[in-house]
Chains A and B, each alone.
Chain A
């Protein structure tokens, strides 16, 4: 059965120019500026697609504005498993998501932005698949469908196939500290992962001998990275699923959200801070190894702030090894990879092109931009 959570205040701060909607004070200010919540309408657009496919279907949800109301408006049958007190808070989202999982939801649709995704990840991790109906201001996390109706289409396909037939993949949940963002400093951090159903080009593999699933593609990229590692070099493995796969390939464990230092196939420091990394660099040759974080194409400056400008500078020439399955580059839709370490010289030095390890014996050449410093250097 489908589960639905609506964050009723998601996106309220966007039109009001408040760079997010986290916190009571911001939500009040947004309302004062005349903003109206749009999350319910976005959820309704998604549910309308589900209702077309499954008229009168039951949906597990939370009471009132957190789901029940909109399920009813869509002509579907709400089964309320969580009763938050209004006004709602992030804790209510976490509690509601857990209640949906306990009640047996096979897919949790949630309406909101990165903040909501973070609460859902806290509750579900990868235990129950989840999919975002985009309605927030910040959406750095690639856990959202491209539109509410596309989310509804995926949910309908999920129900039709009973969860079979739609592959589920781990996607990073990033969020920024909105207070920092309002001070014009974008520093999203990686908060966890969700299991997200995806609609692959299901027919694309028909002509191919071996269908390459995403997990196989990530494993291939990790194999390529592992075989490119040299003895005596310290590798600073950044956060994210691809780096975890590199660690698996090397037979070591990895802190999923942290930067780990690996030398000759052994972890010499796990969960390193910027200061730790600088200390490690002093001990011998080193190289950062990163993947593409989130859906925006960032290599540095999003979710891996430990790999700071000072660290990159200390790594010398050719400081970064980039590892990502080809599809991750393709999903950028022609947009360049991005670096934003906060240091113009470092960023401009990295801009141009980068060779991305996409598999064993395969690489791609892909453009890199430093969006904060366009025009300051040799950007392509």
Chain B
């Protein structure tokens, strides 16, 4: 007896769309138009005069911009085709994006932020007309203070490295205010803390000391004690580290830093594994930050606009970025940055739509919901870890045999030695099954690395599916390595030329640069 509907195969026979769509500039046909802009009415022209003529010479182009000329329908088709050639978080089991934390960004929140009440707001609008959104900013800050245990929060930053920069800028201002700016010239971090901590400290003028893990794979407390001195300005650490390993001695780390007069800064951009379970301030930290897109359900948005939060102890509060939203009895007012503040780190009040999304996410979950997020994320991760470590050739180096928090940095080194296939090749082949897998692991410490983070968003069935794809690709690496080596076979494009991206003479991120570098001359 045959079933009325053919059963689906165990592993999806995915095939990505391949349109071979040219660049929009290459589609240009002189004279084509998408929109016929109506002529200015006579009354308007009379009232306003020659607007263009009124522009200063310095603002006027000598030649018109070389914009592509296309009909409306062709534009629509162009972008629809491109949209079919992506593997976004809303399409695939997006647990393989390194440390990016691709959790679900609830769609209902898009409705909230597209209400005219919000979209019609102007950042310079009088506070009396903006009480609602100012209240949302204030209430979100208070919730993040509660979540981190800190006293004060600023939502000014755009998150990520910008938030880490604000952390070190506050630390620097604090030591300068105490007359120790010239003495405290060193910042200590660990090799598995997000490298933007080292980068931001260095950009702020500090000497950076990096600690490697101890023999058991944990952050090395003995090495920290050796590195700390009256010259130390701060320790800047991620916990759990990018390996997913939680520093069991974190309180000792902070205490050791405080004992020499240094501050302790906590990168918890991704707090997915600790929400409602541990708090930065409870471990003694002076400064921390969150990324709203990693932890609080706002979209990553293809690199922006990001939003984040800096949270500090009372001692650091005067240094927070400004302006700030403060409550004055039953009203909310905008206060300019105080004299000790590091000043403005973003235009106006930060990225308001993301703050509203995060507020909605927090309110929808409540405190028990936040803890459930962390518990589910950790459970998902350890479930997936068990499935992945059952695949021959996969391993989880450092703290071997111990559980991880919200993510795991795995290694394909054994498979690589056996087959010659690299993690990058496995990632490319995984895309043939509709799975995103990205080898973003700076610095490159674990050999042949891959980092999986399931978050709380994925079901057991989806994690099973992801693990099955990895197992299948590992099998191929052994039995038919050329299939893996020559992948992708079912994708939009074949291999890209990475080296072009490393060569200033060849990289081209605009049409103009592409024309100039590859075809010479000064093409528009």
Contacts and interface: CB of A to CB of B under 8 A. Distances in A.
Contacts of A367: 212, 215, 220, 223
A361 B208 contact: yes
A49 B418 CA distance: 11
Contact of A203 (B215, B227, B438, B485): B438
A183 interface: no
Given A52-B481, A361-B208, A364-B212, A206 B501 contact: yes
B212 A366 contact: yes
B372 interface: no
B272 to A, nearest CB: 20
Interface in A37-53: 49, 52-53
Interface in A126-184: 146-147, 149-154, 156, 164-165
A364 B417 contact: no
A324 B482 CA distance: 37
Contact of A156 (B210, B217, B439, B485): B485
Contacts of A154: 420
B206 A49 contact: no
Contact of B439 (A52, A203, A213, A358): A203
Interface stretch (A15-23, A111-119, A329-337): A329-337
Given A202-B498, A204-B442, A207-B440, A361 B206 contact: yes
A42 to B, nearest CB: 13
A330 to B, nearest CB: 5
Contacts of A201: 424, 439, 441, 444, 449
Interface string B209-239: 1111101010010110011000000000000
B506 to A, nearest CB: 11
Given A153-B422, A202-B424, A53 B485 contact: yes
Contacts of A211: 501-502
B398 A362 contact: no
Interface residues of A, number: 43
A52 to B, nearest CB: 5
B206 A165 contact: no
A213 B198 CA distance: 18
A358 B210 contact: yes
B443 interface: yes
A327 interface: yes
A252 B226 CA distance: 34
B499 A164 contact: yes
Interface string B318-350: 000000000000000000000000000000000
B435 interface: no
Nearest to A364: B210
Given A366-B212, A380-B222, A204 B444 contact: yes
Interface string B439-457: 1111111010100000000
Contact of B217 (A206, A213, A334): A334
Given A199-B422, A206-B501, A363 B211 contact: no
Contact of B420 (A147, A204, A213, A358): A147
Contacts of A52: 481-482, 485
A353 B226 contact: yes
B421 interface: yes
A357 B360 CA distance: 48
Contact of B418 (A147, A330, A355): A147
B199 to A, nearest CB: 9
Contacts of A213: 502
A249 interface: no
A362 B208 contact: yes
Nearest to A46: B420
Nearest to B501: A206
Nearest to B421: A153
B151 interface: no
A205 B502 contact: yes
A326 interface: yes
Contacts of B222: 353, 380
Contacts of B499: 164-165
Contacts of A333: 447
A258 B506 CA distance: 40
A163 to B, nearest CB: 11
A211 B442 CA distance: 11
B419 interface: yes
Contacts of B210: 326, 358, 362-365
A316 interface: no
Interface string A252-295: 00000000000000000000000000000000000000000000
A200 interface: yes
A154 B417 CA distance: 12
Interface in B408-464: 413, 416-422, 424, 427, 438-445, 447, 449
Given A52-B482, A146-B416, A206 B440 contact: yes
A367 B421 CA distance: 32
A149 B499 CA distance: 24
A204 B223 CA distance: 27
Nearest to B419: A149
Q: Please list the 4 inter-chain residue pairs (A to B) with the smallest Cβ-Cβ separation, ordered nearest first.
A: A153-B420, A201-B444, A149-B420, A147-B417
Given A211-B502, A365-B212, 4 more contacts: A147-B420, A150-B416, A153-B485, A203-B427
